[in-house]
């Protein structure tokens, strides 16, 4: 069942056209990836879906809401149903990790400080961080811990949707694979839908259910990995030829 639909999106910055008729749909409980060449508008599209930017033309529907016809109150209610992990974490440097996780709880709920603290501890545990990490500041954490702390913040409101912008960038290969495993565990445990921007081929082949590839201002290929590998679009062929050959993928399947 589709819970996010993007139809005919046109995005312009002045006279520069970023998207010209982008169309895709995302199903409930899947891990969906948005791929594309540099400057193809992946992050811009994500920002339009989470209402940080408004497209020039086109329709976006999220969890039954039409973003072009939504009241302020509805928009606030919708924002409480998703969590976002921005690239590099985007934690507030002047706040402790616990305070970072608590931000949305203070903004959108009226629960007591005591309950908020319990929720913070539960979210730290959920992403594999020790309780003491809550008292630290972002500058005191490693790159992997920052990602997990930012993920804990994204999960603070028990969202239905989780948006991830390059979640494994900056991590070493082992840390990246552990983070991928965590994403799958959370999807299965919490019954959420994950939308991620990524260039990580191990993530693409390892945990992504379906994907859409942006190039030429449109979605030039979409579907599961087998459908995408059959695309004859030049960017798709070049992307996978340079980074991960079909032979390697097929060999990997034989060893799963």
**Sheet of strand 2-13: strand arrangement:** 16-27, 2-13, 57-62, 65-66
Q: What is the mean pLDDT of residues 205-215?
A: 92
Residues 6+ apart with CB under 8 A from 134: 96, 97, 98, 101, 120, 121, 124
Determine the pLDDT at residue 248. Answer: 56
Predicted local confidence at residue 66, as pLDDT: 93
Q: What is the pTM of this model?
A: 0.88
Which of these ranges, 67-81, 125-139, 231-245, has the smallest mean pLDDT?
231-245
Residue-level pLDDT at 11: 95
Structure confidence at residue 256 (pLDDT): 47
Domains of the chain by residue range: 91-158
Q: What are phi and psi of 254, to 5 degrees?
A: -65, -20
Query: Across all residues in the chain, what is the average pLDDT?
Result: 88
Contact 71, 147 (CB under 8 A): no
Report pLDDT digits (tens) over 223-246.
999 899 888 899 888 888 755 555
Q: In whole angstroms, what is the distance from residue 44 CA to residue 98 CA? A: 29
Q: Higher confidence at residue 40 or residue 209?
A: 209
Q: What is the pLDDT of residue 2?
A: 87
Tell me how far CA of residue 136 lies from CA of 33, 69, 130, in angstroms. Answer: 32, 41, 11
């Amino acid at each position: 069942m589709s819970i996010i639909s993007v139809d005919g999106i046109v995005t312009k910055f002045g006279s520069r056209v970023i998207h010209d008729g982008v169309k895709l749909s995302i199903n409930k409980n899947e891990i969906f990836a948005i791929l594309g060449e540099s400057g193809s508008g992946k992050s811009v599209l994500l920002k339009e879906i989470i209402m940080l930017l408004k497209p020039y033309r086109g329709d976006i529907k999220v969890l039954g809401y039409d973003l072009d016809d939504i009241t302020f109150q509805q928009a606030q209610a919708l924002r409480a149903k998703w969590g976002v992990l921005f690239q590099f974490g985007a934690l507030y440097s002047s706040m402790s990790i616990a305070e970072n996780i608590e931000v949305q709880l203070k903004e959108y709920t009226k629960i007591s400080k005591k309950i908020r603290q319990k929720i913070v501890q539960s979210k730290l545990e959920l992403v594999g961080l020790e309780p003491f990490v809550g008292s630290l500041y972002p500058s005191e954490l490693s790159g992997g811990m920052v990602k997990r702390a930012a993920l804990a913040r994204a999960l603070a409101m028990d969202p239905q949707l989780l948006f991830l912008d390059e979640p494994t960038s900056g991590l070493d290969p082992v840390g990246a694979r552990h983070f991928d495993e965590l994403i799958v565990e959370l999807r299965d445990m919490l019954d959420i839908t994950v939308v991620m921007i990524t260039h990580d081929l191990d993530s693409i082949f390892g945990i992504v259910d379906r994907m859409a590839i942006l190039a030429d201002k449109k979605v030039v290929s979409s579907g599961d990995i087998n459908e995408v590998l059959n695309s004859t679009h030049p960017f798709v062929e070049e992307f996978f030829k340079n980074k991960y050959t079909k032979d390697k993928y097929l060999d990997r399947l034989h060893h799963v």
